[in-house]
Amino acid sequence: MTGEEKRGILAKVEKNAVEAQLRDDSCARSTLHGLQSCFSFIPEEMVAASWCFSGGVASSSGSCGALCSGLLAIGAKYLPTMDEVASGSEEAQSKFEKGKDKLFAFREAFIKEFGTTLCPEVQRKIFGRSFNLLDDKERDEFLSLPGHEEKCAAVVAKAARMAAEIILDEE
């Protein structure tokens, strides 16, 4: 794959992730949708299910949904299946080690960019404070912030791009 082809894929992943985020306001699903637009190993059902990661995993102030979906995509590509693990083969162990290295590389890139893996801390970085998304008043305040859509879309764009870069590494 040429550098130009990789740049095209990265641009498409970012564009589709941002468009989905601006339309649907679901960081996790939008990240995975952007990745799915270029990587056929991500099924539509996985994109649909990833919604549960939004807002810090079911709006519970846990890990950032964009991070979770990037990890899910990398894991789907590189980690061994249950049958492969059960076989106990060296190939499965090697696949696990490679997958783990890629997952940790993504996590570290995310932390370098955002300083954290946690949704409330990402919110604090981009909005100056965090919000309890399970509290109706705070969620409404969060959703009505000026620039909310664009700032969340920027997080999604960066997470989707970082995950795509790791997936494309060695391709």
What is the pLDDT at residue 38? 98
Please give the DSSP secondary-structure letter assigned to residue 64: -
Residues of the chain with pLDDT > 90, as a percent, come to 96
pLDDT at 1 over 90: no
How many domains is the chain built from?
A: 1
Q: What is the pLDDT of the chain when averaged over all its residues?
A: 95
pLDDT in tens, 62-88: 999 999 999 999 999 999 999 999 999
Tell me, yes or no, whether 82 lies in a domain: yes
Q: What amino acid occupies position 170?
A: E
For the residues 151-170, what does the mean pLDDT come to?
96
- Which pLDDT score, from 0 to 100, does residue 155 have? 97
pLDDT over threshold 70, residue 35 = yes
Asked if the structure places residue 159 within a domain, the reply is yes
What is the pLDDT averaged over residues 6-33? Answer: 97
The reported pLDDT for the residue numbered 68 is 97
Question: What proportion of the chain, given as a percentage, has pLDDT over 70?
Answer: 99
Domain annotation covers residue 171: no
Question: How far apart, in whole angstroms, are the C-alpha atoms of residue 143 and residue 131?
Answer: 10
Does residue 83 lie within any of the structural domains?
Answer: yes
Range of the domain at 154: 3-166
pTM over 0.75: yes
Over 70: is that where the pLDDT of 153 sits? yes
Q: How far is CA 81 from the centre of its chain?
A: 21
